[in-house]
Amino acid sequence: MIGKSDEEQPRDVSSLHLWQIQWVRDSFLILAIIFVVWLGYAMRDITIPLLVALLLAYLFEPLISYLANHPKFPLGRIPVIVALLTIVTTFVLFVLVLTVPMVISQTSSLVGDVTNGKLRSQLENVTAKYAPEDMQGDLQETLAFLPSGKKEELAVIDASETVTVPTHEKDGLLNIAKQTGDVALKIIGSIIRFGILAVLIPFYFFFFSLWFPQVIAFAKSLIPDDSRVEIESLLEKMDAAVAGFVRGRIVIAAIMGATLAVGWMVVGVPYAILLGIGIGVLCAVPFLGIIGIPLSIGLLFLEQLGVPEASRMTWWGVILWPSLVFGIVQALDGWILTPLIAGKATNLDPVTIFVAVLAGGSVLGAYGMLLAVPVAACIKITLQEVVLPNIRAWANGQAKDPLPFEEK
């Protein structure tokens, strides 16, 4: 009987280097991944533009590849990327020119209603009329954090009757000036950061899109030859699910946001443009946009309190019309937009999507909600294509170990 070769004989651990020990290598790999994630978060001002540009390059790659390598009119990657950047930039600027003035106007109106005490007064009236008596005290205390808009009378300081400007008034003016300066600095900082992002993201996007085929080829070269077919098939299915869902939800969210803004503006919901854009962003996450129903009804209800009673909308109209707008947009999404744009990219049922969104939100908040559905789709594909077939083979006696990591 032929004995085992020297390579197959057990080796003395004391004679091995640290990097030759499997569990040490695995531990260092896990620590390296954690360190890279932490470093990326610490340098988020740099990594966020990179990740956004990489995501955009990934999403636009099928279109760029199709136009660059078209059999009849091959344009090349550089002209296609430049043309795409030009078209997208022009479209974004056009949308901003149309929407930014309205958004600024409605935002200013909302801020004015908060600072001059109008919003607090409306909420206090609603609380006094409709809230149970045992809850009114707690609700009034909760509303106390909102500005009342009333100037408190200032105490007079008598200092030998020679002080022309009281000290507390000077302090108040200084505090107002300081707060105004802080707000101005924050606004300037936000504008600078937005300007940097507006320059860096297209810059990174150009090079990521230009090098994307080389990156894919390099990644494929790392796949082991003995399992290349299975791994590539699995990655292609995951890519189709993730890319289809992300592309579809972005387009659908934009359409839903614009439709909600117009619809709510027609039925008289205040701040309709601002609310529609915000709910449209939330619609990128399935089921999250439903928060638009109570918000639109509440804003319309508060708006009607300031209208003369003879001209007020009926109570059922306040509830019906904003809800009807949202229902029509949801029907548009379920019957037309999702089947036409996204299809069944993830192949997940509504219950699974709902549970995945809740689980992602409980772990990572808003980021977890955004990532929950693509991650759930990838997990489902892995279970269907890898884990379950191995478990079935083990149950039928065709494999010794149900896990797909058994060495052969």
Residue 160: which H helix or E strand, with range?
none
Contact 172, 157 (CB under 8 A): no
Contacts of 115 (CB under 8 A, 6+ apart): 147, 149
Q: What is the dihedral of CA 75, 81, 86, 90, to 10 degrees?
A: 120
Instruction: Count CB atoms within 10 A of the CB of residue 379.
Output: 13
Q: Is the pTM of this model over 0.85?
A: no
What region, left, alpha or beta, does residue 132 occupy, with left being phi > 0 and alpha being psi -120 to 50 degrees? Answer: beta
Domain layout of the chain by residue ranges: 47-129+171-222
For residue 36, what pLDDT is reported? 83
What type of residue sits at position 233?
Answer: S
Contact 306, 122 (CB under 8 A): yes
Instruction: Count CB atoms within 10 A of the CB of residue 324.
Output: 13
**C-alpha of 267 from chain center:** 28
pLDDT mean values, one per 10 residues, the chain (408 residues): 49 63 78 84 78 84 86 83 89 78 71 70 72 71 67 44 49 59 67 76 88 85 81 84 81 89 89 86 82 88 75 83 91 81 68 80 72 82 82 75 54
Tell me how far apart the terminal alpha carbons of the chain are, to the nearest angstrom: 21
For residue 152, what pLDDT is reported? 44
